[in-house]
């Protein structure tokens, strides 16, 4: 009778220990910003012109397995990772992390570089891209989410050191910001040529803006032509009561085409983009 009781107790102890190990594993792999007791700091020497560092270029990237659990728990609080970044827009407090985590792994296994335009977020998919605007001085940057955090205080995003400098919040440590996600989906293309009708009728475009006046849409299109981007169009949305003129680049038939087009647009300062499809 004693042996079954001992086995039961050992089993219960093992289960408790296993739960603790799982929780510890989650904490260790959900980001580098969960050590509030260890003081972070800025680098003593910055080996570059900070304001010359380019923003991250929004593009389609496949969601990674690492860093994207359906749900995870850190410091006693549970978080659910969003299925996508569509429509995400939030106002709150931004912080930054620097030398303490420089060279360490982020949640998706990449190496954190405090001089790269990246950030940590608790629930946005990894990777994803967001525009962060400092509500006090109206500076804005585009960063790539590749880490989890911040897990202390009421902060909504943890910026790399360089992104914080460009926004002007590195001195105060935090700043009031607006975080807006880029809506970038994967263009769908038929996997085979059997369905010719679907291939002809499904197309994707990168939309750069929508204007109430046709002349404003033409100005943007002329800029595209001047920069060597000739595959653009102005699409009139007649569903709007006053009419809306949308400037779009395409058609695009693959993620690779969308990536190349977005990089070209970003190089001429056009990063507020949205991928749209039509039947």
Domain-by-domain residue ranges, the chain?
Answer: 50-181, 196-278
pLDDT digits (tens, 9 = 90+) for 186-237: 544 444 444 444 444 557 888 888 888 899 999 999 999 888 888 899 988 7
Please give the residue that has the higher pLDDT: either 211 or 156: 156
pLDDT at position 164, please? 96
Give residue 32's pLDDT.
57
**What's the average model confidence in pLDDT over 134-149?**
94
Q: Is the pTM of this model over 0.75?
A: no
Average pLDDT for 251-264:
80
Averaged pLDDT for residues 134-157: 93
Q: Which of 125-129, 189-193, 254-258 has the lowest mean pLDDT?
A: 189-193
Question: CATH classification of 50-181, choosing from 1.20.810.10, 3.30.200.20, 2.40.40.10, 2.40.160.20?
Answer: 2.40.40.10
Owner of token pair 């050191």:
161
Cβ proximity of 213 and 245 under 8 Å: yes
pLDDT range class, residue 144, cuts 50, 70, 90? very high
- Map tokens 């995870």 to a residue: 72
Contact yes or no for 187/260 (Cβ under 8 A)? no
Tell me how far CA of residue 54 lies from CA of 90, 173, 221, in angstroms: 23, 22, 24
The rounded Cα 22 to chain-centroid distance in angstroms is: 27
- Beta pairing partners, 174: 95
> Are 241 and 43 within 8 A, CB to CB?
no
Query: Is there a contact between 263 and 57 (Cβ–Cβ < 8 Å)?
Result: yes
Residue 13 is given by DSSP the state H
- Judged against a pLDDT cut of 70, whether residue 34 lies above it is answered with no
pLDDT for residue 50 is more than 50: yes
CA gap 112, 101 in Å, rounded: 7
Residue whose pair of structure tokens reads 């699409």 in the numeric block: 235
Task: Name which of 33-42, 64-73, 93-102 the model is least confident about.
Answer: 33-42
- CATH number, domain 196-278: 3.30.70.1070
pLDDT of 12 reads 56
């Amino acid at each position: 009778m004693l042996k079954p009781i001992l086995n039961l107790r050992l089993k219960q102890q093992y289960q408790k220990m296993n739960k603790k190990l799982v929780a510890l594993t989650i904490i260790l792999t959900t980001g580098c910003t969960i050590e509030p007791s260890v003081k972070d700091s800025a680098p003593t020497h910055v080996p570059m012109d900070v304001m010359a560092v380019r923003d991250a270029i929004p593009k389609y990237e496949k969601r990674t397995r690492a860093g994207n659990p359906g749900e995870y728990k850190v410091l006693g609080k549970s978080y659910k990772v969003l299925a996508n970044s569509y429509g995400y827009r939030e106002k709150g407090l931004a912080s930054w992390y620097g030398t303490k985590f420089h060279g360490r792994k982020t949640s998706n296994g990449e190496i954190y570089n405090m001089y790269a335009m990246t950030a940590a977020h608790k629930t946005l998919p990894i990777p994803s891209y967001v525009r962060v605007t400092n509500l006090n001085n109206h500076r804005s940057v585009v960063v790539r989410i590749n880490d989890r955090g911040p897990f202390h205080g009421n902060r909504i995003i943890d910026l790399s050191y360089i992104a914080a400098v460009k926004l002007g919040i590195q001195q105060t440590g935090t700043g009031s910001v607006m975080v807006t996600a880029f809506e970038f989906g994967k263009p769908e293309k038929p996997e085979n040529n059997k369905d010719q009708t679907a291939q002809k009728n499904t197309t994707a475009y990168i939309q750069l803006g929508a204007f109430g006046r046709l002349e404003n849409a033409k100005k943007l299109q002329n800029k595209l032509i001047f920069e060597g981007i000739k595959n653009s169009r102005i699409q009139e949305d007649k569903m709007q009561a006053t009419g809306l003129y949308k400037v779009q680049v395409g058609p695009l038939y693959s993620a690779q085409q969308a990536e190349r087009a977005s990089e070209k647009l970003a190089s001429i300062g056009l990063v507020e983009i949205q991928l749209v499809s039509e039947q």
